[in-house]
């Protein structure tokens, strides 16, 4: 027998984006069902670092949204049932030469907010950086968080506000008619009948969208991370090597690294950006490359043990921007995906945007193309 579940909103995907969407919708009083094919945080949200970084953004609207997201993190951090370990630690980008520094500054949308460090000034902020690093930029507004705790806390808080979580419930197919998503068939004999549907299934968004006849340009991009043993405080900021930023946007042969230290003392070293389909196997050669790069800049790591490694699949959007907004094909469908490495940083603001849009439409209004004065034009999924 098919079990029918009626809801105001069905959210597909239990990662940090889906959990944030579910949180903000539930807080606004929408009867919300969250469908997750495995368990919450079982995808990229449970296999990533906790950077909330501004300097690595290139689009000005994206930077503005990231700043707003930081404000929302500050708002929710004491309202969560778990400690999400939100810290305003500041962030740094490291450079080996002046030319790289200048190239970075020329395209940095938060140029006016960064402090340029040179020589001994760098070790005033990070004592263990090697002399190979000639310059650094510091932005005190950048933060870090525990992404796993964030994901689970958002769902628990949403559940307290009425969210219904359906775990191990993969989407099988849809009923569509007259430009609407009328029903979602999921798991074993479950039929969800929502007023609105939000598709935020991370790297699997494109596959699920095909069941609706949509071609959403989101594909997996693998990232691997190495985790060290617990250490005394050794790294005080969230840090990116400039070559890593180049790898993020340009691909090619450059291979930098990222580094942060968690509240319990583990150091997280990352990360690759590989197009390898849905393969999550550890590529020892690539992992060794970024670990070696990190050791060159932080020599103390040579004496530190790596206790585990893991890989996650970022949802890469071919537009270079996340896709956030209503479908132009189905009037009751919204999409929130394609954040790639910005999913954690943009999770609060993405959930708030989608919740506001659904509130507007349910009140008979058009969805706004702006969010708190920030243009959303580049994020609205026209043609999907």
Phi-psi label, residue 272: left if phi above 0, alpha if psi -120 to 50, beta otherwise? beta
Separation between Cα atoms, residue 118 and residue 133, nearest integer Å:
9
CATH number of 3-46+148-217+320-379: 3.50.50.60
Contact 158, 81 (CB under 8 A): no
Two tokens, residue 19: 């959990």
pLDDT of residue 58: 85
pLDDT of residue 319: 87
User: At 10, which helix (H) or strand (E)?
Assistant: strand 3-12
Find the mean pLDDT for residues 96-108.
95
Two tokens, residue 171: 């989407």
Helix (H, G, I), strand (E, B) or coil at 202: helix
Dump pLDDT digits (tens) for 141-160: 999 999 999 999 999 999 99
Dump pLDDT digits (tens) for 104-153: 999 999 999 999 999 999 999 999 999 999 999 999 999 999 999 999 99
Find the mean pLDDT for residues 7-11.
98
Q: Right CATH number for 91-140+219-317 from 3.30.70.270, 3.40.50.300, 1.10.357.10, 3.30.9.10?
A: 3.30.9.10
Q: Cis before residue 70, ω within 30 degrees of 0?
A: no
Two tokens, residue 118: 């040179």
Dump pLDDT digits (tens) for 25-55: 999 999 999 999 999 999 999 999 999 999 9
Separation between Cα atoms, residue 363 and residue 216, nearest integer Å:
28
Find the mean pLDDT for residues 285-297.
95
Express as a percent the part of the chain with pLDDT over 70: 98
Dump pLDDT digits (tens) for 158-184: 999 999 999 999 999 999 999 999 999
Q: Please report, for the chain, the start and end positions of each structural domain, with discontinuous segments joined by +.
A: 3-46+148-217+320-379, 91-140+219-317
Looking at every residue in the chain, the average pLDDT score rounds to 95
pLDDT of residue 380: 87
Q: What is the DSSP string of 48-116?
A: S--EE-STT--SHHHHHHHHHHHHHHHHHTTTSSS----B---EEEEESSHHHHHHHHHT-TTGGG-EE
Tell the residue number behind the tokens 């950006």, with chain if given.
273
Predicted TM-score of the model (pTM)? 0.97
Helix (H, G, I), strand (E, B) or coil at 174: strand
pLDDT of residue 84: 98
Find the mean pLDDT for residues 87-94.
98
User: At 147, which helix (H) or strand (E)?
Assistant: helix 147-160
Separation between Cα atoms, residue 340 and residue 115, nearest integer Å:
27
pLDDT at 375 over 50: yes
Dump pLDDT digits (tens) for 178-206: 999 999 999 989 999 999 999 999 999 99
Dump pLDDT digits (tens) for 232-289: 999 999 999 999 998 877 765 457 899 999 999 999 999 899 999 999 999 999 999 9
């Amino acid at each position: 027998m098919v079990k029918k579940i009626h809801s105001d909103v069905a959210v597909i995907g239990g990662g940090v984006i889906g959990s944030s969407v579910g949180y903000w919708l539930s807080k606004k009083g929408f009867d919300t069902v969250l469908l997750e094919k495995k368990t919450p945080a079982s995808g990229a949200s449970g296999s990533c670092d906790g950077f909330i970084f501004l300097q690595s953004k290139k689009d000005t609207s994206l930077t503005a949204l990231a700043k707003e997201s930081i404000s929302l993190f500050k708002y929710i951090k004491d309202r969560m049932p778990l400690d999400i370990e939100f810290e305003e630690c500041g962030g740094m980008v490291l450079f080996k030469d002046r030319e790289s520094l200048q190239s970075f500054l020329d395209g940095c949308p938060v140029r006016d907010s960064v402090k340029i460090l040179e020589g001994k000034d760098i070790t005033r902020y990070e004592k263990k950086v090697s002399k190979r690093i000639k310059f650094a930029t510091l932005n005190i507004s950048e933060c870090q968080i525990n992404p796993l705790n964030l994901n689970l806390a958002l769902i628990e808080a949403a559940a307290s506000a009425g969210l219904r979580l359906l775990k191990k419930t993969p989407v099988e197919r849809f009923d569509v008619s007259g430009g609407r998503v009328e029903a979602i068939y999921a798991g074993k004999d479950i039929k969800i009948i929502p007023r609105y549907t939000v598709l935020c299934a991370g790297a699997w968004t494109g596959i699920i969208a095909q069941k609706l006849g949509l071609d959403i340009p989101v594909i997996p991009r693998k990232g691997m991370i190495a985790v060290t043993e617990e250490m005394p405080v050794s790294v005080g900021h969230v840090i990116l090597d400039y070559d890593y930023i180049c790898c993020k946007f340009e691909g090619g042969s450059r291979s930098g690294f990222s580094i942060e230290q968690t509240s319990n003392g583990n150091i997280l070293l990352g990360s690759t950006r590989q197009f390898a389909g849905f393969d999550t196997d550890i590529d020892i050669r690539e992992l060794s490359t970024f670990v070696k790069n990190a050791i060159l800049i932080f020599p103390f790591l040579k004496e530190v043990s790596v206790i585990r490694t893991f890989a996650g699949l970022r949802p890469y959007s071919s537009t270079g921007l996340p896709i956030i907004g209503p479908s132009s094909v189905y009037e009751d469908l919204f999409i929130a995906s394609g954040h790639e490495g910005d999913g954690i940083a943009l999770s609060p603001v993405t959930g708030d945007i989608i919740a506001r849009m659904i509130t507007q439409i349910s009140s008979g209004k058009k969805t706004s193309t702006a969010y708190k004065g920030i243009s959303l034009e580049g994020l609205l999924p026209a043609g999907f």
